[in-house]
Amino acid sequence: MNSPARQPHLGIRLRVDLDRDLTPRRNATIEAHLRVEVTATGAAAELPAVELAVIIAVDVAEPRREAARRALPAALRALPDDISFTVLGGGPEPRRCYPLGDREWAVADARERRRAAFAAGAVPLHRDGPRPAGYAVWAARARALLAARPLSVRHLVLITDGSGAADETRLAEELDLCAGQFTCDVFAVGSDFAPDPLLALAERLHGTAEFVETGLTSAVTAAVARLRRVHTPHLPVEVTARPAVRQVSLTEKAPRPHRLGGLPQPGRPHRWHFPAYRWEPGGYDYLLTLVADADGDPLDTDLLFAMVSVGEAHAPVTARWHRRAEPPPPGLAGGSSVRSVNATTAMRSALRKGLHALREQRRDQAEELLGQAARLATRYGADWVLREIGAVAEVADAASGRVRVRSTVDAHTLGGMILRAGSRPGGPLTDLADPPPGPRCRRCRTLAGSEARYCVACGERLP
């Protein structure tokens, strides 16, 4: 999904936070919070639309045609000039709605947008007969189309009501083939859909899954606009570990929560390559987990367990084996920002599991899990979590985690809430105590890029 035509134009700062005192033993877990700060340097504010290819796929049943008829034409008319696009519908297999004829791709201009908006009124949708194709078929169709369009950013926008056939095994296999080829955002409409395969699609393909009750047009338009802020489509996170480290994993926590798949490098058994996509200016939080053995290592000596690299930015993961007089209190292992990352993960997980339990009518378990989420949300100021819980339960005491599920909750309406719990976009999880190095404007304190000479906010010459 990346092209050599566009070179990286990013200023990258990388910081690592972890508990540097490790208890010496076998299979010791080391958790480090990686904070990546990205600024645009020497690049245009937006990626030229000519470098983008977008598939808009409509996987909904005929009764929801009116929603598609309202949303699609306006979204197509809002496409920027020169973007490559195609529109797919399903009935029951994915079928091209636009462009017409033998062409697989259209390049947006006033004429193409007008024709596409008109054709979208007749987008093929599932009617009677066999159920629509499963999500694996949509992903495979997108992969085949995008393989013939080698542009910098390749993306699938999937609009679905969840009526596709469920085949999780086939979907997992297809997503392995799609990973790294394109990214995907999922917009769910309606109320009765299974959220798990939609989350799998979005997380595996480095996008987000959202429930769109209203405003589908603006959601699709915003998704395309976000793609234009991608300055470097593909820039991996590299982890080089010392031989004592036996396992390495990396999870993005913000802005798009998902686990990254690590690829060992041939001939370099201790180096791991974690593909990461859609880099744009802003903050990124990752949790790096290492499993290491203390055999033969000296105590109270700083050791380099791994070196992390993002582009030309590098940061060491250093710690020491240390025997504490007393074990740390439960829940306090790791640096302060690692604890925040883990707490946020636990909060999201409790919210998502609680909503699943409520959907399956396990009310006691739902109250326990939603109470855990409320307690963590209070501690970390996550008001959006408390609002989600308040929609399905009475919060008697958020700080102590006492909630009471309402008796009037319709289980069929919980899919959208589960999507938000699992894939809600957000800002950086936490700031480290020390400010990042680098020039700041003396007048307005705006952080500048690594090669900047003048402030982009006020024009002041930088020191």
Bridge partners, residue 53, by sequence: 84, 154
Q: In what order do the strands lie in the sheet with 313-321?
A: 21-22, 313-321, 303-310, 237-241, 268-274, 263-265
How wide is the angle at C-alpha 233 spanned by C-alphas 227 and 239, nearest 5°? Answer: 135
Cβ burial 94-108 (10 Å sphere, 16+ → b, else e): bebbbbeeeeeebbb
pLDDT digits (tens, 9 = 90+) for 415-448: 888 888 876 655 444 433 333 445 667 776 666 6
Closest by CA to 71, choosing from 224, 222, 219, 226, is 219
Distance (Å) of CA 336 to CA 16, 339, 429, 434 = 11, 5, 12, 12
Residue 238 in this model has a pLDDT that exceeds 60: yes
CA dihedral 151, 153, 159, 164 (to 10 degrees): 70
pLDDT recorded at residue 330: 45
Q: Which residue has the higher pLDDT, 115 or 128?
A: 115
Classify each residue of 423-444 as buried b or exposed e, where b means 16 or more C-beta atoms within 10 Å of its C-beta: bbeeebbbeeeeeeeebbbeee
Average pLDDT over residues 5-16: 70
Q: What gap in Å lies between CA 232 and CA 253, rounded to an integer?
A: 19
pLDDT of 267 reads 75
Which pLDDT belongs to residue 147? 94
More confident residue, 169 or 209: 209
Q: What is the pLDDT of residues 176-200, one digit of tens each?
A: 899 889 999 999 988 778 888 999 8
pLDDT digits (tens, 9 = 90+) for 254-307: 888 888 888 777 777 789 999 888 888 888 999 999 999 998 889 999 999 999
Between these two residues, 5 and 383, which has the higher pLDDT value?
Answer: 383
Choose among 285, 127, 160, 143: nearest CA to 204: 143
Report which DSSP code applies to 167.
-
Q: Within 10 Å of residue 459's Cβ, how many Cβ atoms?
A: 10
Q: Model's pTM, two decimal places?
A: 0.76
Contact 197, 188 (CB under 8 A): no
204: left (phi over 0), alpha (psi -120 to 50) or beta: alpha
Contacts of residue 296, defined as CB under 8 A and 6 or more positions apart, other chains included, come to: none
DSSP class of residue 64 equals: G
